[in-house]
Amino acid sequence: MRQDPWLNTSVHIVESRQSRPNLPSDGCPFCVGGLEAKEPYEIKSFVNRWPAMPDDRCEVVLYTSNHDSSLAELSTSNVKKIVDLWANRTDALMSRSDVQNVLIFENRGREVGATIDHPHGQIYAFDHVPERTKKRIDNSWQPDSDSTRRFIEKDGWAAWVTYAPIYPVSIEIAPVKRIADLTTMSETDRIAFAEILRDVLQRLDRLYASKTPYMMWINQQPKKYSTGWFNIEIISPWREKDITRFIAAAEVATGEYFNPLNPEDLAKTLRSLNS
Ligand SMILES: [Zn+2]
């Protein structure tokens, strides 16, 4: 890993990823009978064949054996099983002495770089705490209580549109009372989390009446921290159906962003998109 000498940006140089197939030539590797799923399964996880980091730090999570489904389309009890699997993997990876932070994430859609359409997510186990993760905890991140941008409040959980989003769609979900990570989350909270996550993702698909591309990740408390607040971030680059907003020159140059969607208006729309 390298650090830019002037900006401190961290960059992993991963040449091996260049040889990764853009699309497998012999069918979907995640469908039953495929390369990574020889036996029938409901959900499963395994070490990534094309890891971005060494030492079995990168895993793949298959949400369902149904190629055409999605996290949003699964039942609450199936999403809950995924939450349980995420918790188990977090526990196993955090018990390693060479792991400080476990990041669970998903890239859904070709627009955000997913190479395989089959519903799946990933897990990275870092040997350090990434800068952005650190910054949010150090700045005492906690749920945003502004009612103009909140669009779901249910069973001790809330979802809202963020105050200063870089991307057109930027949503956060968190428990109203602090929970550090998945491993310490109660059974009741895991169910409530599965429900609100599913609800948010369904609204996201209703927003553009389409399978909206998104990036989603879970922020959990790293080792040696005591104030981390479990939360999940979901962003979409779409500013309209099929229209991606690219982060462009002036933004890359300055680190200042120009977002065409108004967060309060988006929250209002998402509030109206309940089933
Ligand atoms: Zn498949």
pLDDT in tens, 20-29: 766 666 789 9
**pLDDT-based confidence at 66, cuts 50/70/90?**
very high
- Distance from Cα 69 to the centre of ligand 1, integer Å: 9
Q: What does the DSSP assignment read for 4-40?
A: -TTT--EE---GGGGGS-SS-SSS-TTSTTBTTB-S-
pLDDT digits (tens, 9 = 90+) for 212-244: 999 999 999 999 999 999 999 999 999 999 999
- pLDDT at position 23 is 67
What's the 40 CA to ligand 1 centre distance in angstroms? 12
Structure confidence at residue 17 (pLDDT):
75
pLDDT value at residue 89: 98
Residue 256: is its pLDDT beyond 80? yes
- Range in 20-24, 152-156, 198-202 with the lowest mean pLDDT: 20-24
CA of 64 to the centre of ligand 1 (A): 9
Residue whose C-alpha is closest to residue 57's, from 45, 43, 47: 47
Distance from chain centroid for Cα 107: 7
pLDDT value, residue 115: 87
109 Cα–ligand 1 center, Å: 14
Instruction: Give yes or no for residue 150 having a pLDDT over 90.
Output: yes
61 C-alpha to center of ligand 1: Å? 13
What global pTM score does this model have? 0.96
* 116 Cα–ligand 1 center, Å: 8
Q: Which residues surround ligand 1, an ion (CB under 5 A)?
A: 28, 30-31, 67, 118
Q: Which of helix, strand or coil describes residue 268?
A: helix
From the CA of 121, how far away is ligand 1's center (Å)? 13
Domains and CATH numbers, the chain: 2-272 (3.30.428.10)
